Structure 1
C-alpha cells in the first residue's frame, strides 16, 4: 500500500505541473523554429515582428542551440533596447521548447552560441516596423553582420 501512495502522489503533482505550464502559454504565441546542425543552422523566421507583451515560442527541430540576446551579460555588445532585460535560453536540444516574452519596444538581435560565427542570428522587431538599428556591426562576427544587413535590405525592399 505504501508503494502505491508513493507512485500516485508524484503522478498527481506531475500532472498538476503540466497543466499549469499549459495554462501560461497564450493562444496567440508566435513560433520560431530552430533548425540545422552546422552551416544550415537558422531561426525560421529569422526576422519577426511582434507587439510588446507578445510571447515567442522557440521550438528546436534538430541539433543543439541557444537563443541568446546580444547583451554584455552574455559577453556580447548591446544590441537590444537599453531598458530591456538580457535573455539566454541555455543549451536547447531537439524537441525542446523555450518561451520568451518581450515587453520593451525596439529592435532585439539574438544569436545561437554554437553557430553565431556561421550566421545563426535573428532579429525581433517589437512595436516597430523599422528593421534597421543603430548597432555597430564591426563588433560581431562577419557572417552575423552580413545576415543582419540582409534583414534590413529585405525589409527596405518590401516598403
Structure 2
C-alpha cells in the first residue's frame, strides 16, 4: 500500500509533512526584440525615460498525480513617444512534485508558491537580455503572486455571479 512506503525518515507517506519540490526549471519560450536599433540606443532616446508595461500570467498543468508544471509568463515593453525601444516575452517553467498537499490547496500552491520560486530566475533572464540588447538591465518589479491569485478568484466569482 502507498501509505506503508517509507519517505526516508521512517514515517509512511500518509504521516509525512506536506512538501513542494522543484524537479526541474527551464525556459519554455523566449523572445527579445530591439526593433529600432541602433537608433534606439542613442543617448537622446535613452534620456527620454521610457514608459514600461508588463503583463504577468501563471498557468499550470498536471503531469501526473503528484507532478505539475507551472509556467510563469512575463511580457513587457519599453516605449518612448509611442515607439517600441525593446520588447520581451518569456515563458519560464518548472516541474514541481507536491506531496501530501490537500487537493483544494494544490492550485494556490502552484500559482503562488511555485511561481514565486520561478520568479527570480525569470527576472534575471529578462535583465540579461535587455542589457545584451544595449540597454541598462531592466529588473522586473517584485510580484505579489498571492494578491494576483486573490484578484483572479474575485474576478471569477464576479463573472459567475453575473452569469447566474
Same structural fold, with TM-score higher than 0.5 when normalized by the shorter chain: no
Question: Normalized against structure 2, the TM-score is what?
Answer: 0.23
> Which of the pair is proportionally richer in strand?
2
Question: Normalized against structure 1, the TM-score is what?
Answer: 0.24
> Which of the pair is proportionally richer in helix?
2
Instruction: Give the number of the structure whose alpha-carbon radius of gyration is greater.
Output: 2
